[in-house]
Structure 1
Amino acid sequence: MGVYETKLRTLYVMRILAENTDQDHILNATDICKLLEQQYQIHADRRTIYGEIEALRMFGVDIIQQKGKASGYYIGERSFEFPELKLLVDSVQSSKFITEKKSRELIFKLEKLCSTFQAEQLAKQVTILNRLKTENEEIYYSVDKIHSAIYNNKKIQFQYAEWTPKKELRFRKNGMFYKISPWVLTWDDEKYYLIAFDDVAGKVKHYRVDKMKHLDICEEDREGQKQFEKFDPSELTKKTFGMYGGMEIGVKLLCQNSLAGVILDRFGKDVWMRTVDENQFIVHVNVVVSPQFFGWITGIGAHMKIVEPMEVREAYRKYLETILEGYRV
């Protein structure tokens, strides 16, 4: 056997162990010899396999030897543990911004990171059909370009679209290209948003990545560094609802005790809360006041009330009256 065949044999042994073994499935030296012969037409004896396994261990592959009646070898620690792969598969198939085609491609690649037996288990939990998925394959590459622009400190340009009642994407501003400085990609309500600086308007804006079309990286350097020096995306997502902009205001809310978990999930454990009586508490939060914030309050119902400031209470009352007006007979 030549030098290249010897090197290939070592790699093939590693592949055989990676694909065919885990804690519940082991192979002994004889099994590995048979698979080498069947799959790669390479002849080897058991002593050769022992040497290959030792070489792979020295290389850093975690090969565990099981002794006893059912002795043999299996791959121990891998790049991803099996429960981690399950979480990743769940994330991919539930992500609305990844198309059905791309979801299947990614899950197939994830299955390559475990044994074939574990891959079968992953395949059984895949249920992509009938899930809400975007049809915009372009978003996958737009995210990559945005990351690249942020890393290289460059502006981007794109056309921005919106849905019509005919279920068609129509370009805003007659198809004019937006040119902005990208700073942060964030995930909110199962959607990807770009937080960027618009130097023409002189302010920070949000854009839905799935509505961006024909995105390209520009030659100009980004602007808006001062606005993003102390920017905390996690704080932004606490204050905004649906990533809609508006004026940030400190709001006092009167809540039933049963809403403590809702408040902590939304605003975090650092939020200020004070007990009023055995049934209610007061919470002070900073929010971006918008129709989406009012919609969130409405969804919770009578168990939460806006106490202060009065202008926000009044704006909310008018919001409700406008809705009720549409239902008057």
Structure 2
Amino acid sequence: MVIINILDILKKYSDMDHRLTQAQIIEILKKEYYMDVDRRTVKRNLMNLLDFDFGIDYTEIIKKNEKGEEIPICTDWYITREFDDSEIRLLIDSVLFSKTIPQKQCKKLIDKLKGLSNIYFEKKVNHICSLPEIRPENKELFYTIDVLDEAISKGKKVSFIYNSYGTDKKLHPKREREYVINPYQMVATNGRYYLICNYDKYDTLSNYRIDRITGIKMMNEKRKSIKELKEGEINLPKHMAEHLYMFAGESIRVKFKAKNYIIDQIIDWFGFGPKITKQDEDTCMVEVEVNEEAFFHWAMQYGLHIEVLEPTSMRERIMSAIKELNDKYVTH
């Protein structure tokens, strides 16, 4: 057990900034593992760990013995880490800011990620917390992801119940019968996890919220080939840029005028695909291919900063929505 415990000590207490001498390792072995070992035993096991290529490193210094002979001494032992602290923090933040993972599973996952580092990292992230009130409670989430992952890799259809929240803040089936779909890809966007798939009745792609799926089963039936659909393939960057809010349906070509100060937001939402032409110091012209329903919601969100010019149907739809809003709020 000595070699296993020494490896555990190095993982728990060391990195490039926190190195351990053999004397410190001996002390921890005695205090935490109730093992009395001598310096030669520790050194032998450390050298074995070096041979086993566990990412162990050290500093070599030269000391003189009683006879004045120079002897190399190995000290300042540490383990090199697969992830540095900033990378682990980024992964933890990704979990923390996900709007999909239930509270208990989120905490377990963060604890596992903390375990990739050492005690010094844990002290730095003790303040991390999440907001339970905005967390969904679909306990089947990770199981659903596992089944979808297997079905996608094996090219099989899946069936499931698709839910929506009621006034009781609980999930309820949207319809009595199960959905049967052809799964192709899972993607994360806007803090949500989505399934890109096809419903047999249509030749287009659909998007489903994975945290709204329950009762999933992989079927024996082979899924429809993506080549049979109108898209022919999934160009993921293009698909994500066109489906801002992951609405299904056709994409259209939109032309709108925008204030230059929201170009950052335009690129955040649409990527680098849109054609952006500077008009003057204040405005620019933007042309983009985007899902029709998604663009309508985006245009309403940024309505104070843009003006939709084409297509006419989209411009008229926005005008109608503005009139309806005005009628709701105007003082009689």
TM superposition score normalised by structure 1: 0.89
> How many corresponding residue pairs?
318
Contact 2:20 2:78 in 1 (8 A): no
Q: Measure the CA separation in 1 of the matches of 2:283 and 2:17.
A: 53
Instruction: Quote the offset at 1:252 in angstroms.
Output: 0.8
Q: Measure the CA separation in 2 of the matches of 1:103 and 1:229.
A: 36
* Equivalent residue in structure 1 for 2:318, among 316, 319, 325: 316
Alignment correspondent of 2:255: 252
Contact 1:197 1:224 in 2 (8 A): no
Contact 1:36 1:42 in 2 (8 A): yes
* CA deviations over 1:12-68 (Å, ceiling 9, x no partner): 211111112223332211222232233334332212222211211121122232467
Q: Measure the CA separation in 2 of the matches of 1:62 and 1:203.
A: 49
Alignment correspondent of 1:3: none
* CA deviations over 1:142-187 (Å, ceiling 9, x no partner): 11211111011111100111122332322122x2111111001111
Q: Measure the CA separation in 2 of the matches of 1:99 and 1:214.
A: 17
* Equivalent residue in structure 2 for 1:169, among 168, 171, 192: 171
Contact 2:11 2:79 in 1 (8 A): no
Alignment correspondent of 2:39: 46
Task: Assess, with a 3 A threshold, how the Cα gap between structure 1 residues 22 and 88 changes in structure 2: closer, same or farther.
Answer: same
Q: Measure the CA separation in 1 of the matches of 2:284 and 2:198.
A: 38
Contact 1:199 1:224 in 2 (8 A): no
Alignment correspondent of 1:27: 20
Describe the SS at the equivalent of 1:75. strand
Contact 1:63 1:73 in 2 (8 A): no
Alignment correspondent of 1:231: 234
Report the identity percentage: 27
Task: Assess, with a 3 A threshold, how the Cα gap between structure 1 residues 200 and 270 changes in structure 2: closer, same or farther.
Answer: closer
Contact 1:85 1:110 in 2 (8 A): yes
What amino acid is aligned across from residue 49 of structure 1 in structure 2? V
- The alignment status of 1:302 with 2:295, answered yes or no, reads no
Instruction: Quote the offset at 1:129 in angstroms.
Output: 4.2
Range moving further from structure 2, 138-147 or 294-303:
294-303
Contact 2:273 2:288 in 1 (8 A): no
Alignment correspondent of 1:62: 55
Q: Measure the CA separation in 1 of the matches of 2:76 and 2:207.
A: 53
Range moving further from structure 2, 181-190 or 315-324:
315-324
Contact 1:94 1:131 in 2 (8 A): no
Describe the SS at the equivalent of 2:30. helix
* Equivalent residue in structure 2 for 1:263, among 266, 270, 273: 266
* Equivalent residue in structure 1 for 2:114, among 111, 123, 141: 111
Alignment correspondent of 2:134: 132
Alignment correspondent of 1:151: 153
Alignment correspondent of 1:190: 191
Task: Assess, with a 3 A threshold, how the Cα gap between structure 1 residues 220 and 81 changes in structure 2: closer, same or farther.
Answer: same
Q: Measure the CA separation in 1 of the matches of 2:244 and 2:40.
A: 65
Describe the SS at the equivalent of 2:167. coil
Instruction: Quote the offset at 1:76 in angstroms.
Output: 4.0
Q: Measure the CA separation in 2 of the matches of 1:165 and 1:241.
A: 27
Range moving further from structure 2, 95-104 or 58-67:
58-67
Task: Assess, with a 3 A threshold, how the Cα gap between structure 1 residues 130 and 99 changes in structure 2: closer, same or farther.
Answer: closer
TM superposition score normalised by structure 2: 0.88
Describe the SS at the equivalent of 2:329. coil
Contact 1:159 1:213 in 2 (8 A): yes
Contact 2:160 2:180 in 1 (8 A): yes
Identify unmatched segments of 5+ residues in structure 2.
64-73
Q: Measure the CA separation in 2 of the matches of 1:67 and 1:125.
A: 38
Q: Measure the CA separation in 1 of the matches of 2:298 and 2:155.
A: 36
Q: Measure the CA separation in 2 of the matches of 1:300 and 1:235.
A: 22
Task: Assess, with a 3 A threshold, how the Cα gap between structure 1 residues 139 and 130 changes in structure 2: closer, same or farther.
Answer: closer
Q: Measure the CA separation in 1 of the matches of 2:172 and 2:256.
A: 39
Alignment correspondent of 1:181: 182
What amino acid is aligned across from residue 272 of structure 2 in structure 1? K
Instruction: Quote the offset at 1:298 in angstroms.
Output: 2.4
Q: Measure the CA separation in 2 of the matches of 1:74 and 1:106.
A: 29
What amino acid is aligned across from residue 19 of structure 1 in structure 2? K
Describe the SS at the equivalent of 2:226. coil
Q: CA RMSD in A?
A: 2.1
Task: Assess, with a 3 A threshold, how the Cα gap between structure 1 residues 62 and 170 changes in structure 2: closer, same or farther.
Answer: closer
Q: Measure the CA separation in 1 of the matches of 2:323 and 2:273.
A: 34
Alignment correspondent of 1:9: 2
* CA deviations over 1:217-258 (Å, ceiling 9, x no partner): 111111132136431122122112321123311111111111
